[in-house]
């Protein structure tokens, strides 16, 4: 499988895989134990991988969110908990989700997937996708399930970071980009109905071009891998995606 094909194959599955633990019931319960609702746990957990940074930095990496949401899930939430500590708990929640979900997948497939993805992201230029850098600061897991699920997070954050750059390159406002992506996500990201833009052919063309640039940038990342490494990613992706619908916990 070539790099362009792998970019297309992984685009949608990794978007969902990498975020599936965010609002999982047990993740929600963990946040509650820490004194946070699920949105605060998400905001502090994900952005906390960058450290105790300022609100402007979080807005940059949560580029497609309305600023009011950043105030809620970061600025206000920081008065309740230390974001660095919460980031550690959030990653542990991700690993717990993996244990509840991917127990039916051959460990060698998960391990090969994780090794390939990690080699790719470790070789990627630092500072381009800050959230990837943030997750790379965590120790590489020895457990193949944990490593594979962290790899889905890497791929999600990598594509997301590259998409921010592509959206800026084509001059598309983040509010408009979010709406064109999905009106439901538009609302989830804190925008109100009256914020919805008038969709024009020109805006649609800009969004299409941003997606093309993102896919090309991801293909460039995958191009550094060997054929065997790309095949490992292609093999594991549908297995993990199917497990979201048919989860198998790890046997005790």
pLDDT > 90? residue 21 = yes
> Would the CA dihedral through 94, 99, 100, 105 be positive or negative?
positive
DSSP-assigned beta bridge partners for residue 111: none
- What's residue 1's pLDDT? 86
- pLDDT for 68 equals 93
Rounded Cα distance, 94 and 79, in Å: 24
Residue 121 token pair: 């992201």
| All structural domains of the chain with their residue ranges | 3-242
- Per DSSP, the chain holds a count of helices (H) and strands (E) of 13, 0
Q: What's the pLDDT tens digit per position in 193-227?
A: 999 999 999 999 999 999 999 999 999 999 999 99
pLDDT band at 231 (very low <50, low <70, confident <90, very high): very high
Q: Give DSSP secondary structure letters for 143-194.
A: SHHHHHHHHHHHHHHHHHHHHHHHHHHTT--HHHHHHHH-HHHHHHTT--GG
Can you give the pLDDT at residue 251? 85
Residue 151 has pLDDT above 80, yes or no: yes
């Amino acid at each position: 499988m070539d790099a362009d094909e792998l970019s297309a194959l992984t685009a949608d599955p990794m978007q969902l895989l990498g975020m599936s633990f965010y609002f999982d019931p047990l993740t929600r319960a963990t946040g509650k134990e820490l004194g946070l609702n699920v949105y605060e746990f998400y905001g502090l957990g994900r952005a906390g991988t960058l450290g105790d940074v300022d609100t402007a930095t979080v807005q940059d990496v949560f580029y497609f969110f309305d600023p009011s949401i950043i105030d809620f899930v970061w600025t206000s939430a920081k008065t309740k908990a230390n974001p660095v500590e919460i980031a550690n708990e959030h990653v542990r929640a991700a690993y717990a989700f993996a244990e509840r979900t991917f127990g039916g997948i051959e460990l060698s497939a998960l391990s090969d997937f994780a090794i390939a993805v990690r080699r790719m992201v470790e070789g990627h230029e630092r500072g381009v996708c800050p959230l990837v850098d943030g997750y790379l600061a965590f120790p590489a897991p020895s457990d193949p399930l944990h490593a594979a699920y962290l790899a889905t997070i890497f791929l999600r954050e990598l594509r997301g970071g590259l998409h921010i750059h592509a959206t800026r390159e084509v001059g598309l406002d983040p509010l408009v980009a979010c709406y064109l992506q999905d009106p439901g996500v538009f609302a989830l990201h804190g925008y109100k109905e009256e914020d919805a833009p008038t969709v024009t052919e020109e805006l649609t063309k800009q969004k299409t071009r941003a997606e093309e640039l993102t896919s090309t940038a991801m293909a460039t990342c995958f191009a550094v891998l060997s054929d065997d490494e790309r095949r490992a990613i292609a093999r594991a992706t549908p297995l993990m995606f199917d497990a979201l619908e048919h989860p198998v916990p790890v046997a005790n």
